């Protein structure tokens, strides 16, 4: 079967209720598709009208009451309220039979004849969607939680609507005015490559744990950090590693040599080991960090490939709110997972100081620096859709 590109949209209510992580956990752990793009955007009135019209056309062509219900839902919830746009998250997946697999995990819209006890929570909509009717069959409340096309034809039609809009939109949604705006911070999180090695609910669970901060998720992107970006991003760590590890491992080398050769070494030789072996060890540890984040050691990377997208996947998230930096870091836990308190992300999922699940900015100033390095305003979702559509 041919490879397909399709999407799931997480609705404004689902994002606002911090259910994004739960939805992502279901998707990543239960389907054999590749997550190739993520973006949060805020639909305009024109986009909502076009998307709703497409759904309505599908309802006429297929006599589908569900498509008509979804069309009405988009007009009601995707359109701006008093000029304020609402956040929607797109998750792009690629693979064989992508539309059917995403549709199956999303689940059917809540059937009116199902009892509460018959709901199993198997699909995303079983868990997060609602459809209530009165005694006359009129809909009182409807929230589908996620939206996804049921056929590749529909996916293509809808992506032709989304791709040009998202190309022009910023990758950080600014739709909130705070009473104490000067106290609002933004911080950057990277869900590191160790969470993406195999199909797992971990990335979604991590996002779910961050949601306890009460901060707003205003931007995201699926990301492959280049070697050049990793060198710049972790540049400040290089000197710290050298300062901390060079004396430690130079002295350890002295102890090993004295034991091996039964020969006491002078303090002068110890300093020489610190400045030679110790520095080489610190440099090697720094290169391991770069390799972990980009997939390639910098000393093994040809110069013409330094700027190429890395070989491993991460996800970048931007959070906003009061005291955002400290709130995120409190939930994340200390750099060393073995010293992290129970209930923190690194205690739950971290392995060691390097393989410690996620990165979080240590200050609002560093968050700005790091957002620049990862080019947070650039998102490849629209380009992925456009390239796919150009072949159709």
Name the domain boundary from 305, 323, 346: 305
247-277: burial string, b at 16+ Cβ within 10 Å, e else: bebbebbbeebeeeeeeeeeeeebeebbeeb
117: DSSP letter: G
Tokens at residue 276, please?
Answer: 């030679």
Count CB atoms within 10 A of the CB of residue 189: 26
Mean pLDDT value of segment 192-214: 95
Q: Has residue 327 been placed in a domain? A: no
Mean pLDDT in the chain?
A: 92
- What does DSSP assign to residue 336? S
Residues 166 and 45 in one domain: yes
Parent domain of 241: 230-305
Residue 64 has pLDDT above 80, yes or no: no
What is the predicted pLDDT for the residue at 219? Answer: 98
Per the document, the length of the chain is 392
- Do the Cβ atoms of 324 and 331 come closer than 8 Å? no
Q: Is residue 281 part of a domain?
A: yes
Q: What angle do CA 191, 22, 190 make, to 5 degrees?
A: 10
Is residue 112 situated within a structural domain?
yes
- With respect to residue 203, please indicate whether it lies within any of the assigned structural domains: no
Q: What is the CATH number of the domain that holds 30?
A: 3.30.70.141
Q: Are residues 9 and 158 part of one domain?
A: yes
Residue 66 lies in a domain: yes
Which ranges in the chain belong to alpha helices (H)? Answer: 12-16, 20-30, 45-62, 65-77, 98-106, 124-128, 152-168, 202-210, 227-233, 235-261, 267-273, 279-294, 324-332, 345-349, 364-373, 381-390
Domain shared by 153 and 255, yes or no: no
Residue 221 lies in a domain: no
The arithmetic mean of pLDDT across residues 162-190, rounded, is: 92
Angle between helices 65-77 and 45-62 (to 10 degrees): 170
Find the mean pLDDT for residues 171-190.
90
CA dihedral 226, 231, 232, 238 (to 10 degrees): 160
State the pLDDT at residue 121: 64
Of 157, 309, 290, 170, nearest to 235 (Cα)? 290
**Are 156 and 287 found together in one domain?**
no
Q: Are residues 12 and 154 in the same domain?
A: yes
Confidence of residue 379 (pLDDT cuts 50, 70, 90): very high
Task: Give 271 or 352, the one with higher predicted confidence.
Answer: 271
| Mean pLDDT, range 43-58, rounded to an integer | 95
End-to-end CA, the chain? 16
Q: Based on the fold, state whether residues 235 and 152 are members of the same structural domain.
A: no
Question: Are 35 and 165 part of one and the same domain?
Answer: yes
Q: Are residues 149 and 290 in the same domain?
A: no
100 and 244 belong to one structural domain: no
**Residue-wise pLDDT tens digits, 72-119:** 999 999 999 999 999 999 999 999 999 999 999 999 875 544 444 445
Residue 274 is classified by DSSP as I
Mean pLDDT to the nearest integer, 208-221: 96
Evaluate the CA torsion angle 373, 221, 95, 50 in order and state its sign: negative
Mean of pLDDT values over 260-271: 91
Q: Are 203 and 333 in contact (CB under 8 A)?
A: no
At residue 231, the pLDDT reads 97
Domain boundary, last residue among 305, 320, 348: 305
Cα–Cα distance for residue pair 327/287, rounded to 1 Å: 30
* Number of domains into which the chain is organized: 2
Instruction: Please give the pLDDT value at position 209.
Output: 96
Least reliable range by pLDDT among 105-114, 166-175, 265-274: 105-114
Q: Give a yes or no: residue 362 inside a domain.
A: no
Residue 248 in domain: yes
Average pLDDT over residues 66-73: 90
Mean pLDDT of the 254-272 span: 90
| Residue-level pLDDT at 119 | 53
- At residue 112, the pLDDT reads 46
Q: Which residue has the higher pLDDT, 60 or 45?
A: 45
Quick one: DSSP state of residue 116?
A: G
Domain boundary among 255, 290, 305: 305
Say whether both 60 and 153 belong to one domain. yes
Q: Are residues 236 and 164 in the same domain?
A: no
State mean pLDDT over 276-291: 94
294-351, pLDDT tens digit by residue?
A: 999 999 999 999 999 999 999 999 999 999 999 999 999 998 888 899 999 999 999 8
pLDDT on residue 118: 47
Q: Long-range contact list for 191-194, CB < 8 A, 24+ apart?
A: 191/314, 191/315, 191/317, 191/357, 191/358, 192/292, 192/293, 192/314, 192/355, 192/356, 192/357, 192/358, 192/359, 193/292, 193/293, 193/295, 193/312, 193/313, 193/314, 194/292, 194/351, 194/355, 194/357
| Whether pLDDT at 62 is above 80 | no
Q: Are residues 254 and 109 in the same domain?
A: no
């Amino acid at each position: 079967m041919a490879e397909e590109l399709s999407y799931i949209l997480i609705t404004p209510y689902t994002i606002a209720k911090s259910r994004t992580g739960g939805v992502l956990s279901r998707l990543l752990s239960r389907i054999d598709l590749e997550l190739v793009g993520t973006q949060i955007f805020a639909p305009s009135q024109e986009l909502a009208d076009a998307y709703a019209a497409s759904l309505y056309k599908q309802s006429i062509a297929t006599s589908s009451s569900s498509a008509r219900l979804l069309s009405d839902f988009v007009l009601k919830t995707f359109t701006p309220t008093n000029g304020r746009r609402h956040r929607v998250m797109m998750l792009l997946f690629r693979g064989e039979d992508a539309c059917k697999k995403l549709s199956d995990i999303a689940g059917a819209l809540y059937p009116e004849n199902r009892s509460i006890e018959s709901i199993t929570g198997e699909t995303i909509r079983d868990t997060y969607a609602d459809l209530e009717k009165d005694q006359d069959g009129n809909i009182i409340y409807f929230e589908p939680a996620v939206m996804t096309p049921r056929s590749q034809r529909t996916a293509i039609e809808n992506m032709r609507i989304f791709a040009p809009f998202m190309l022009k939109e910023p990758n950080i949604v600014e739709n909130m005015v705070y009473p104490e705006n000067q106290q609002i911070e933004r911080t950057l999180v990277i869900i590191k490559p160790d969470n993406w090695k195999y199909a797992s609910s971990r990335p979604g669970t991590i996002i779910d744990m961050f949601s306890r901060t009460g901060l707003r998720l205003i931007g995201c992107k699926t990301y492959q950090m280049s070697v050049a970006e990793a060198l710049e991003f972790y540049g400040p760590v290089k000197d710290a590693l050298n300062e901390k590890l060079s004396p430690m491992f130079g002295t350890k080398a002295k102890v090993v040599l004295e034991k091996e050769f039964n020969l006491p070494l002078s303090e002068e030789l110890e300093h020489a080991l610190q400045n030679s072996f110790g520095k080489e060890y610190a440099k090697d540890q720094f290169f391991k960090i770069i390799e972990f984040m980009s997939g390639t050691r910098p000393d093994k990377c040809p110069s013409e490939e330094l700027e190429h997208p890395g070989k491993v996947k991460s996800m970048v998230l931007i959070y906003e709110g009061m005291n955002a930096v400290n709130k995120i870091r409190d939930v994340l836990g200390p750099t060393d997972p073995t010293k992290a308190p129970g209930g923190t992300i690194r205690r739950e999922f971290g392995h060691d100081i390097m393989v410690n699940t996620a990165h979080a900015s240590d200050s609002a100033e560093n968050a700005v620096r790091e957002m620049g390095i990862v080019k947070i305003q650039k998102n490849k979702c629209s380009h992925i859709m456009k390239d796919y559509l150009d072949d159709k």
